[in-house]
């Protein structure tokens, strides 16, 4: 492998980002939820599954849309129990 192609540090690799479409859907879900729309009404309006709406609503507002490939730590991971 050419040294110019290798990252200098392991933490220099940029994590994957969400697509613009997913980010727009996430924003729309939260906007409609703030207007007190039901999960079913949001799903019908955005042409997506109700579970997708629930997942978008479960994502913290401050954290933004979920990043694919990352998962929250489980209790076992946090406690070091295998």
pLDDT digits (tens, 9 = 90+) for 7-66: 555 444 444 456 788 888 988 999 999 999 999 999 999 999 999 999 889 886 545 555
Q: What is the pLDDT of residue 78?
A: 56
Separation in Å, CA 19 to CA 2, 8, 60, 66: 30, 27, 18, 10
pLDDT at 81: 55
Q: pTM for the complete prediction?
A: 0.56
81: left (phi over 0), alpha (psi -120 to 50) or beta: beta
Rounded Cα distance, 24 and 50, in Å: 16
Domain residue ranges of the chain, discontinuous segments joined by +:
19-65
pLDDT at position 16 is 45
What's the pLDDT score for residue 11? 46
């Amino acid at each position: 492998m050419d040294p110019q192609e290798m990252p200098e540090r392991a933490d220099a690799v940029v994590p994957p980002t969400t697509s613009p479409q997913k980010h727009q859907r996430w924003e729309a879900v939260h906007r409609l939820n703030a207007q007190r729309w039901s999960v079913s009404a949001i799903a019908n309006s955005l042409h997506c599954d109700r579970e997708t709406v629930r997942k978008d609503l479960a994502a913290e507002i401050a954290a933004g849309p979920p990043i694919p490939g990352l998962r929250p730590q489980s209790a076992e991971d946090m406690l070091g129990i295998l």
